[in-house]
Chains A and B, each alone.
Chain A
Amino acid sequence: DVKVTQSSRYLVKRTGEKVFLECVQDMDHENMFWYRQDPGLGLRLIYFSYDVKMKEKGDIPEGYSVSREKKERFSLILESASTNQTSMYLCARRWTGANTGELFFGEGSRLTVL
């Protein structure tokens, strides 16, 4: 089975803290993504990466950064968490060789910023 593992399912942080959300995939796939999911807003792309040390901004990159030092690991960083970043964060991967846009998602990390 394909696995995308998000190490933290639930986090509670305080305003101003630095937050790391980790995502690990078990396949040698290049493309990885971070989405944010909010009720009524659907899934919005924050950042994606198509290879090690490569990153591209998505639709809502403000307040976030990413790190991809190894192909299997893609981290989302909140430099200074704010309450409006309370959300569900979903990591996904895609096989570059596929002729479809199918994404494989992790189970999500629910972040609460107090």
Chain B
Amino acid sequence: QQQVKQSPQSLIVQKGGISIINCAYENTAFDYFPWYQQFPGKGPALLIAIRPDVSEKKEGRFTISFNKSAKQFSLHIMDSQPGDSATYFCAASSGAGSYQLTFGKGTKLSVIP
């Protein structure tokens, strides 16, 4: 079964620190790797995504690092803020037009003042 393994399950970071969440996958056919952010009481929303033709993508304080040979990708949140406190899910899918995303189990991030 296709899997995406996400760690850690929970993370506490001080305001201004760097939050790092890691994901690993097995299926080499995966070619789209998004991260979703979910606040309490809301559905997940796309935060940032990467394709394997680049090793890094940055949007503001959020960066995805991608290591194709290791089959790993990670989310870095620089200068973490209390407003970043949420649950983060990594995911992967294969093929243009693929209907299915395989999600990691999620990381609950708490940023404390």
Interface residues of A (CB under 8 A from B): 4, 31, 33, 40-45, 48, 50, 56, 58-59, 90, 92, 94, 96, 99-103, 105-108
Q: In the complex, A48 Cα to B42 Cα: how many Å?
A: 21
Kindly state the separation between the CA atoms of A41 and B38 in the bound complex, as whole angstroms.
Answer: 15
- B32 CB contact (under 8 Å) in A4, A40, A44, A101: A101
The CA-CA distance from A62 to B98 in the complex, in Å, is: 23
Closest residue of chain B to A105 (Cβ to Cβ) is: B43
Can you identify 23 A-B contacts, CB atoms within 8 angstroms?
A: A4-B43, A40-B106, A42-B6, A42-B103, A42-B106, A43-B103, A43-B106, A44-B103, A58-B100, A90-B43, A99-B96, A100-B32, A100-B34, A100-B49, A101-B32, A101-B91, A102-B34, A103-B36, A105-B43, A107-B41, A107-B43, A108-B42, A108-B43
Interface secondary structure of B, over-half rule:
loop
In whole angstroms, how far apart are the Cα atoms of A99 and B98 in the complex?
A: 9
Q: How far is the CA of A94 from the CA of B97 in the complex (A)?
A: 10
Q: A101 with B43: in contact, given A41-B105, A42-B105, A43-B103 (CB under 8 Å)?
A: no
How many chain B residues sit at the interface, stated as a range, is 20 to 34
State whether the Cβ of B46 lies closer than 8 Å to any Cβ in chain A: yes
Which chain A positions have C-beta within 8 A of B43? 4, 90, 92, 105-108
CA distance A50 to B101 in the complex (A): 14
Contact of B104 among A4, A42, A56 (CB under 8 A): A42
